[in-house]
Structure formats: structure tokens, C-alpha cells
Amino acid sequence: MLRQRVESSHIATVGYDEEQRIMEIVFRDGRVYHFLEVPPERVLSLLRAESKGRFFNAEIKPDFEYRAVGRRWG
């Protein structure tokens, strides 16, 4: 999975596995979530959004199934 650090007050990194269409969001507090069946253009839109958190809350969280996968520190 390719991961990219982002400038956001809540999101630390965004990862994406294009083959499985899984987007990984790691929040600054260490929580990690996988969002399922996310098309690549939606991931690009998130990465290009001026406010990653606002885009995530409006365009990702309500539209895609997700699962918590744990915590990551450091």
C-alpha cells in the first residue's frame, strides 16, 4: 500500500491499494481505518482538497463502508 503524509489537523497519512480499492486513513491520534471499494479518483480528490478533514467527512466517511484496523504510533 502506498502511503502519503498530508497536511491536516486530523489526518496524518492517506494510503491506497489500487488493486483492492482500499483507502487507509491514519489519524493524528493513531487510529487507523480502511475504507472499502474507494475509486482512485476519490482518493486523488481527497489528496488535492484544501481541507482534507472537511472532504473526508463529506465525501468519504458517509459513502464508503469502513473498518477500524487498530492504532499506529510514531
3-state secondary structure of 55: helix
- The string of DSSP letters for 7-53 reads --SSEEEEEEETTTTEEEEEETTSEEEEEES--HHHHHHHHH-S-HH
Give the pLDDT confidence score for residue 72 in this predicted structure.
82
Q: What is the pLDDT of residues 42-64, one digit of tens each?
A: 999 999 999 999 999 999 999 99
* Strand duo 66-71 + 31-36: pairing: antiparallel
- Whether the pLDDT of residue 24 is over 80: the answer is yes
Kindly report the pTM of this predicted structure: 0.92
How many whole angstroms separate alpha carbon 44 and alpha carbon 28?
A: 20
pLDDT for the residue numbered 74: 56
- pLDDT, mean of residues 10-17: 97
C-alpha closest to that of 49 among 22, 14, 20: 14
